[in-house]
Chains A and B, each alone.
Chain A
Amino acid sequence: DAGITQSPRHKVTETGTPVTLRCHQTENHRYMYWYRQDPGHGLRLIHYSYGVKDTDKGEVSDGYSVSRSKTEDFLLTLESATSSQTSVYFCAIRPGTGGSYNEQFFGPGTRLTVL
Chain B
Amino acid sequence: QQQVKQSPQSLIVQKGGISIINCAYENTAFDYFPWYQQFPGKGPALLIAIRPDVSEKKEGRFTISFNKSAKQFSLHIMDSQPGDSATYFCAASTQGGKLIFGQGTELSVKP
Q: Write the residues of chain A forming the contact surface with B, with a CB cutoff of 8 angstroms.
A: 1, 31, 33, 40-45, 48, 58-59, 90, 94, 96, 102-109
Contacts and interface: CB of A to CB of B under 8 A. Distances in A.
Contacts of A31: 97
B101 A44 contact: yes
Contact of B89 (A43, A94, A108): A43
11 contacts: A31-B97, A33-B99, A42-B104, A43-B44, A45-B99, A45-B100, A102-B97, A104-B34, A104-B99, A105-B46, A106-B36
Given A59-B2, A106-B36, 4 more contacts: A1-B43, A42-B104, A44-B101, A102-B32
Interface residues on B, range: 20 to 34
Contacts of A106: 36, 43-45
A61 to B, nearest CB: 12
Contacts of B41: 109
Contacts of A42: 6, 89, 101-104
Contacts of A103: 34, 46, 49
Contacts of A1: 43
A47 to B, nearest CB: 10
A109 B43 contact: yes
B42 interface: yes
Interface string B42-76: 11111001000000000000000000000000000
B110 to A, nearest CB: 23
A58 B101 contact: no
